[in-house]
Amino acid sequence: MQRQSNIELLRIVSMLLILIVHIDGASLGLPQPMGDITSITTRDWWRLIVESISIIGVNCFVLISGYFGIRASWKGFLRFSSYCLFYSVAIYCIVAIGINNNWSWKGLSESFMFFTHTDLWFIPAYLGLYLIAPFLNKSTEALPFKQYSILLCAFIVFNIYAGWWWQGKFNPNGYTIIHLIMIYLIGRYIYRFLPRIKLMGLYAAFAWVMSTCLILLNSLCDTSLMAFAYNSPFVIMASISFFIMFKSMHFSNAIINYCAASAFAVYLIHKNPLIWLPFTNWIKDMWETTTLPIFTLLIIAVTLGIFWASILIDQSRRYLMTRLKL
């Protein structure tokens, strides 16, 4: 399938947003105003606003998979597995063996078991989505507009009410395969029926701004676990409208397409525990020792630096996979 540069740009932006979420909420933690706005400092506002804007990254990344549709195959499975294996083993060998000299046979063996022995929740969850995608594709292709709309709405309402609102164990915060399936089905719905929705870029931009404001408002009144959960109705609304904003664009750019093919490497590299733990300590130290304007500029530079470094590093993997014809 020919790559659509507008969607590939969204893939890049989504990964940048995921990186920012990890720098902001995962590294620094988030304040819990619980309705007491007077207790919020300028730095608290900064963290809440940044998180409200960037929390949609994972949902948008999966919406892209749903929009294009996952075409499961043995070669595709091997390609995804080799993608994860390359960075899991390579980072362990370079950092634990070559730099820290703090390795073990158990740690080395677990670096090969990246689907089960990993702190990266998205890898096994996405594998589950990959395996079930053929069933989802076949079933959704057969559904007419009205029936698809009713069933999808019911599934979304159930996930929000029983999962997000009541913190149901099957999907309390969106870090589950159930949530990925729901977002994937939304992506398939947009692909099939967007012309009938009649929702264009300008309206989607307005919806995204309003949804983001609702995420921020929710964070002021509730815990960050609820406000910034991937299955929050406001996060879902913001994700869909942000996706449609990019869907409404039409352009072609070979550089964007090329870089987007390595976007997943950004996640696999920076979130690897051997890199993530010292990285997050460094972020905390910067937060505590610099002014907010300087910290903001540094984080922008760090985010772009990690992204471009990951793209360059990924060239070695892409070359190897080409040689192996994967």
Query: Per-residue pLDDT tens for 195-243?
Result: 665 557 788 999 999 999 999 999 999 888 899 999 999 999 999 999 9
Closest CA to 5 of 306, 239, 247, 267: 247
- For residue 277, give every residue at least 6 positions away whose Cβ sits within 8 Å of its Cβ, in sequence order, or none: none
Contact 211, 238 (CB under 8 A): yes
- Whole-model pTM? 0.95
pLDDT score at 1: 59
Q: Tokens in use for 191?
A: 């692909």
Chain segment 141-197, per-residue pLDDT in tens: 999 999 999 999 999 999 999 999 999 999 999 999 999 999 999 999 999 988 665
* Element housing 83 (H / E): helix 74-91
Contact 6, 250 (CB under 8 A): yes
Instruction: Please give, one letter per residue, the 3-state secondary structure of 99-144.
Output: HCCCCCHHHHHHHCCCCCCCCCCHHHHHHHHHHHHHHHHHHHHHCC
pLDDT score at 326: 74
Residue 27 C-alpha from the chain's centroid: 16
